[in-house]
Amino acid sequence: MSASSNGTTAPAEPTTTTRTLLAVDGLVVGYAGAPVLDGLTIEVAAGDVVALLGANGAGKTTLLRAVSGLVPLRGGRVVLDAEDLTGLAVEDRARRGLAQVPEGRSVVAELTVEENLQLGALWRIPGRRARRAAVDELYDELEPLARRRQAYGHQLSGGERQMLALARALVSRPRVLLLDEPSLGLAPRVVAQLLGTLREAARRTGLTVLLAEQNVTSALSIADRGIVLGLGEVVADAPAAQLAADPALRHAYLGF
Ligand SMILES: Nc1ncnc2c1ncn2[C@@H]1O[C@H](COP(=O)(O)OP(=O)(O)OP(=O)(O)O)[C@@H](O)[C@H]1O
Ligand SMILES: [Mg+2]
């Protein structure tokens, strides 16, 4: 008799259940001296866009770098989909689906937009045709990049470069995207376009995003959840709309 025939033993699969995809657990990270993050624990649900907020020096970049493996841990664990990544090198974490876009719109200046995207696809998507399809799919979504596909990295505007840095990470079809201050130095209209693209990519593909931002209003406008860091600790963790709407939280932690 099959397990579900009497309706009592079928596995419960409520569609509203959130599943933790990325977790950091008791993270201790620092440079010289006292730790910057001291026992930090957060969980990010699959498919969520999480805004990582906090004052300058709060530890946002340090957290992203600890997750991607760029800074060593003094303690704690980084877990992706129940797999402990703590001992793994940066490239092994990337192979498992972690992609980081560091601060500063890193693209290869001597390569064209097309070449930058092909490079992004190269090591995660086997086969030229599949890579071609992945890049073309992105062009469909990112019209400004499609128009500039033959331009070199150094010929792009700041906004175009940031769009390309984001696209280069997306083309490798990551499971989790770690983004550090993508709006830095961009005009409000460009920020809105960039974050809108991100939101849309997350909605369409189920991508999970951890987005460090000083641009609190913009980040919360597209995020599901906001986590505020202060002195290496989580000082607030709430639905984005609630964080944006609560004057006391805004005033205490977000400075507006
Ligand atoms: N490479 C480093 N060497 C030494 N100390 C560092 C290094 N990087 C960051 N720090 C220190 O760690 C703390 C956290 O820095 P971090 O860059 O993570 O903050 P942040 O929240 O990203 O700030 P911002 O909003 O300015 O980008 C700060 O006190 C900073 O001075
Ligand atoms: Mg930073």
Q: In this predicted model, what pLDDT tens digit does every residue of 197-219 receive, in sequence order?
A: 899 989 988 999 999 999 999 99
pLDDT for the residue 7: 44
Longest dimension (CA), the chain: 67
Asked whether residue 154 is domain-assigned, the answer is no
The count of domains in the chain is 1
CATH code for the domain in which residue 94 is found? 3.40.50.300
Would you state the pLDDT for residue 114? 96
The amino acid occupying position 1 is M
> In this structure, is residue 123 part of a structural domain?
no
Q: Report the distance separating Cα 193 and Cα 142, nearest Å.
A: 10
Residue 199 resides in a domain: yes
Could you tell me the two tokens for 240? 């984005």
In a domain, 59, yes or no: yes
- pLDDT for residue 251: 79
Whole domain around residue 29: which residue ranges? 20-111+174-254
Instruction: Give, as residue ranges, everything with CB less than 5 Å from ion ligand 2.
Output: 60-61
Q: Whose CA is nearest to atom 24 of ligand 1?
A: 56
Q: Is residue 12 one of the residues assigned to a domain?
A: no
Residue 187 is assigned to a structural domain of this protein: yes
Return the C-alpha torsion angle 136, 142, 146, 148, nearest 10. Answer: -140
27 belongs to a structural domain? yes
User: Quick check: 53 and 219 in contact, CB under 8 A?
Assistant: yes
For residues 24 and 62, the answer to whether their CB atoms sit within 8 Å is: no
153 touches ligand 1 (CB under 6 Å): no
The kind and range of the H/E element at 225 are: strand 225-230
CA-nearest residue, atom 25 of ligand 1: 56
Show the low-confidence residues of the chain (pLDDT under 50).
1-8, 14
Substitution candidate for ligand 1 out of 56, 63, 235 with most atoms within 8 A of CB: 56
